[in-house]
């Protein structure tokens, strides 16, 4: 049996400066959704200036945010100049891409707090020392009003307002002038850094196209755009990974938690996650697809093994988590220490007992788990429903990785 986890782990820690331009382009194409105008036009023999911007709008980062960062890592490991732009200035405006409501305004104190752990969280998976980390307030705070207005005299507002997300917001009466100007600020980031390639999620495509236009206004060669797919969440219901949907894996989660949650991934998402987090050449995709189709459980174990191994920088760490998972779930070897304790009064409804923990966002999330038969009594293997009243001490399993002991 081929061990993709071992192959991808070893490749992750290779010296990529020896890779040919075609090999690097192959790695990038596997991870990309859109490349505009063409990757073939990029001369990898010359040092590129590659940019990725992140607005610090929350304290925690989840693994879905790593998709463009893992492409950024390709350029960094290959010896190109990489700018990771922390949008402390643009965070005050809020990226409007794909939103139906305006983002809440953040204070300087909130932004500073959110920024504190960004590098640490991302640095679990990439060598942050290879990145030039910049704050866009360095140049945006110095931009004069006359310079900013001069840009907008040359931009067509009608074309900007053709964006579907903007049209939806306008019809609802909730689009601010500041949000309309957001992409222009991103463009000024590219001008300040003389960016030749910019990365972003698929939802950033329209913003990135405006960055190219801003660069033209300033007489620069427009950057090449590379977008990544939006990673689908663990629930497999088509929604993107998001804390608000409860379908995410936090970068701060333990190795055991990450492994277990990756094992809950629906089979139809295994390939998407391999492409996002693994470094695959195009000629390896067909074989991996066959492997996933014929051995989906083993494929998930290898994906999870690889993912936690690159964080710990030791393949043995992934093997250890695999053994722990197989021991606990395949052999039903669950010990008392695995149970989360819940104290309730007799007669409490099961749904209320579960919601009082910090493992679920709402009653709605618990109800969805119940409706999919994901909550079981460990003593009887009976499926538990939402209207169960707790009359005795109880041990239950929720999904594949959570165990609770409910006591009076």
The Cα 379–Cα 376 span in angstroms is 9
> What are the pLDDT digits (tens) for 314-341?
999 999 999 988 887 655 666 666 788 8
What's the mean per-residue pLDDT of the chain? 87
In this structure, how many other beta carbons lie within 10 angstroms of the beta carbon of residue 398? 20
Judge whether residue 100 has pLDDT over 50: no
Q: Both tokens of residue 99?
A: 């939103």
Judge whether residue 386 has pLDDT over 70: no
Residue 172 confidence (pLDDT)? 65
Which is more confident, 359 or 213?
213
The Cα 342–Cα 21 span in angstroms is 56
Which of 72-86, 121-135, 384-398 is the least confident region?
A: 384-398
CA distances in angstroms from 253 to 60, 88, 202, 375, listed in the order given:
10, 25, 26, 22
Check the CA dihedral 382-386-392-393 and report its sign: positive
Which of 98-112, 210-224, 243-257 is the least confident region?
A: 98-112
Judge whether residue 241 has pLDDT over 70: yes
CA neighbours within 13 Å on the CB side: how many for 250?
Answer: 14
Which residues are registered as beta bridge partners of 237?
none
Say what the alpha-carbon torsion angle 262, 266, 269, 275 is, to the nearest 10 degrees: 30
CA distances in angstroms from 308 to 11, 63, 201, 242, 274, listed in the order given:
15, 12, 23, 20, 13
Element (H, E) at 79: none
The Cα 27–Cα 18 span in angstroms is 14
Averaged pLDDT for residues 272-300: 96
Averaged pLDDT for residues 150-155: 85
Is residue 43 classed exposed, middle or buried when 0-12, 13-18 and 19+ CB atoms within 10 A define those classes?
exposed
Residue 161 confidence (pLDDT)? 66
Whole-prediction pTM value?
A: 0.78
Check the CA dihedral 109-113-114-118 and report its sign: positive
Residue 293 confidence (pLDDT)? 94
Which of 118-122, 277-281, 312-316, 396-400 is the least confident region?
A: 396-400
Judge whether residue 142 has pLDDT over 90: yes
For the domain bounded by 336-407, which CATH number is listed? Answer: 3.10.290.10
> What are the pLDDT digits (tens) for 180-192?
788 899 999 999 9
Q: Name the residue among 343, 344, 353 with its Cα closest to residue 384.
A: 353
The Cα 214–Cα 191 span in angstroms is 8
> What are the pLDDT digits (tens) for 23-65?
999 999 999 999 999 998 899 999 999 999 998 877 778 999 9
CA distances in angstroms from 83 to 131, 195, 360, listed in the order given:
6, 9, 36
Question: Which overall architecture, per CATH, does domain 34-228 show?
Answer: 3-Layer(aba) Sandwich (3.40)
Residue 155 confidence (pLDDT)? 80
Residue 94 confidence (pLDDT)? 56
Domain segments of the chain as ranges: 34-228, 336-407
- Scanning the structure block, which residue is given the tokens 């990725």? 52
Which is more confident, 15 or 97?
15
The Cα 262–Cα 231 span in angstroms is 13
Residues 279 and 74: beta-carbon distance below 8 Å = yes
Q: Name the residue among 241, 150, 133 with its Cα closest to residue 188.
A: 150
Residue 229 confidence (pLDDT)? 95
Q: Both tokens of residue 348?
A: 């409490």
The pLDDT confidence band at residue 73, using thresholds 50, 70 and 90, is very high
The Cα 269–Cα 230 span in angstroms is 12
In this structure, how many other beta carbons lie within 10 angstroms of the beta carbon of residue 103? 16
Residue 377 confidence (pLDDT)? 83
The Cα 25–Cα 42 span in angstroms is 9
Judge whether residue 305 has pLDDT over 50: yes
Say what the alpha-carbon torsion angle 348, 352, 355, 361 is, to the nearest 10 degrees: 180
Strand order in the sheet with 132-135: 34-36, 224-228, 197-201, 49-54, 81-86, 132-135
Q: Name the residue among 391, 392, 386, 359 with its Cα closest to residue 371.
A: 386
Residue 164 confidence (pLDDT)? 64
Residues belonging to the chain:
408
Residues 188 and 155: beta-carbon distance below 8 Å = no
């Amino acid at each position: 049996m081929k061990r993709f986890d071992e192959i991808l782990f070893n490749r992750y820690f290779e010296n990529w400066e020896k890779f040919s331009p075609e090999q690097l382009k192959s790695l990038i194409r596997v991870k990309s959704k859109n490349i505009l105008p063409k990757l073939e036009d990029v001369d990898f023999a010359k040092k590129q200036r590659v940019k990725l911007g992140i607005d610090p709008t929350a304290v925690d980062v989840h693994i879905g945010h790593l998709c463009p960062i893992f492409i950024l890592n390709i350029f960094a490991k290959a010896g190109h100049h990489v700018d990771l732009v922390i949008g402390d200035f643009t965070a005050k405006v809020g990226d409007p891409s794909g939103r139906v409501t305006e983002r809440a305004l953040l204070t300087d104190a909130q932004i500073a707090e959110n920024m504190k752990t960004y590098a640490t969280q991302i640095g679990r998976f990439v060598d942050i020392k290879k990145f030039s980390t910049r704050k866009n307030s360095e140049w945006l705070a110095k931009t004069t009003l006359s310079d900013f207005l001069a840009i907008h005299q040359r931009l067509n507002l009608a074309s900007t307002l053709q964006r579907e997300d903007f049209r939806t917001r306008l019809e609802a009466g909730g689009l601010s002038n500041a949000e309309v100007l957001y992409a222009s600020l991103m463009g000024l980031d590219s001008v300040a850094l003389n960016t030749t390639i910019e990365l972003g999620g698929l939802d950033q495509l329209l913003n990135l196209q405006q960055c190219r236009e801003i660069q033209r206004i300033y007489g620069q060669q427009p950057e090449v755009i590379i977008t990544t797919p939006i990673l689908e969440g663990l629930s497999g219901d088509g929604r993107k990974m998001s804390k608000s949907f409860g379908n995410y894996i936090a970068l701060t989660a333990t190795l055991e938690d990450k492994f277990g949650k990756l094992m809950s991934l629906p089979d139809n998402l295994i390939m998407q996650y391999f492409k996002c987090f693994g470094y695959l050449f195009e000629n390896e995709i067909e074989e991996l697809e066959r492997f996933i189709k014929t051995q989906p459980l083993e494929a998930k174990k290898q994906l999870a093994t690889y993912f936690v191994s690159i964080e710990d920088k030791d393949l043995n760490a992934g093997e250890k988590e695999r053994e722990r998972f197989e021991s606990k779930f395949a052999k039903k070897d669950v010990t008392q220490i695995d149970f989360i304790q819940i104290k309730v009064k007799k007669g409490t409804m099961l749904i209320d007992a579960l919601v009082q923990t910090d493992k679920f966002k709402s009653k709605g999330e618990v109800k969805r788990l119940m409706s999919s038969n994901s909550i079981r009594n460990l003593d009887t293997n009976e499926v538990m429903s939402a209207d169960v009243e707790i009359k005795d001490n109880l041990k239950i399993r929720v999904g594949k990785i959570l165990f609770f002991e409910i006591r009076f």
